[in-house]
Structure 1
Amino acid sequence: MILREPDAQALADRLETASAPMTSPLAVYETVLAIARQCEGGIASAREDVRLLLEAARVRVVSILPGEADVARDAFVRYGKGQGHPAQLNMGDCFAYASARSREVPLLFKGNDFSHTDLATDEAP
């Protein structure tokens, strides 16, 4: 959404209707780095952009739960890159999967990786 990608509005609409949106520090980290790579303002500017978006969208940053490392590892074994599964989840994806699975909430995402998993999802077009 910050980079104004073509699907930004659809993603924003789904985020707006979420009852209790949350994310993890790992997802925030990945997002800041991805934005910093594509924008001139660097890390500081990207960090502020992400902070403002999370605040405006009332997204709560939640801690990674102790058992989520095991769930993420199991997700990698089942759905990870190089495992022969079409999901091809990376480390950040595996932790997003683990967070949603541990909290029993749907996962808002873009792309098609998570649609190949057993997780309840809210896929953006």
Structure 2
Amino acid sequence: MFVDASAIVAILNREPEADAFADAIERSAAPVTSPIAVFEATLGLCRIRHAAVEEAAADVAEFLSVAAIRCLPIASEEADTALVAAARYGKGRGHPAQLNLGDCFAYAMARNRRIPLLFKGDDFTKTDIDSAA
């Protein structure tokens, strides 16, 4: 499964979905994420907690380590698929999903690997991606 930034933030902030997301990750044979999701999760924690980047980055890194979530590199194929997602589902395209850059890359990582996506919110429910929740 691909773990989106929104799921990471939800778990680290003990949001209502945190336990369900943590259980899904624990059940996954090989949970993965990307540098873009790590970046987004770190900045999300900074905003919510009014924390320094270094502190939020350390929290995200520790979580990824404890949860055994591997951070995979982004290949050129993901950029191609992210562009397809942006054209189809991106902000300003008239589609209700309104995916942003990070969302498009999460979509691409999951789509190209044929794995479900763990996310919070309803943006991805308006796409053709499989949900891990």
Q: Distance in 2 between matches of 1:13 and 1:56?
A: 13
Larger relative contact order, structure 1 or 2 (CA cutoff 8 Å, min sep 6): 2
Q: Distance in 1 between matches of 2:90 and 2:50?
A: 32
| TM-score between the two structures when normalised by the length of structure 2 | 0.88
CA RMSD of aligned residues (A): 1.0
Q: Secondary structure at the match of 1:27?
A: helix
Name 1:31's counterpart in structure 2: 41
> Residue 62 of structure 1 aligns to which amino acid in structure 2?
L
The answer to whether residue 30 in structure 2 is matched with residue 20 in structure 1 is yes
Identity between Structure 1 and Structure 2 (%): 50
Name 1:99's counterpart in structure 2: 109
Q: Distance in 1 between matches of 2:51 and 2:91?
A: 32
The answer to whether residue 83 in structure 2 is matched with residue 43 in structure 1 is no
Q: Does the CA-based 8 Å contact 2:110-2:116 persist in structure 1?
A: yes
* More helix per residue: 2
Matches within 5 A, 1:1-125: 1-123=11-133
Q: CA deviation at 1:54?
A: 0.4
Alignment length (residue pairs):
123
Q: CA deviation at 1:41?
A: 3.4
| TM-score between the two structures when normalised by the length of structure 1 | 0.93
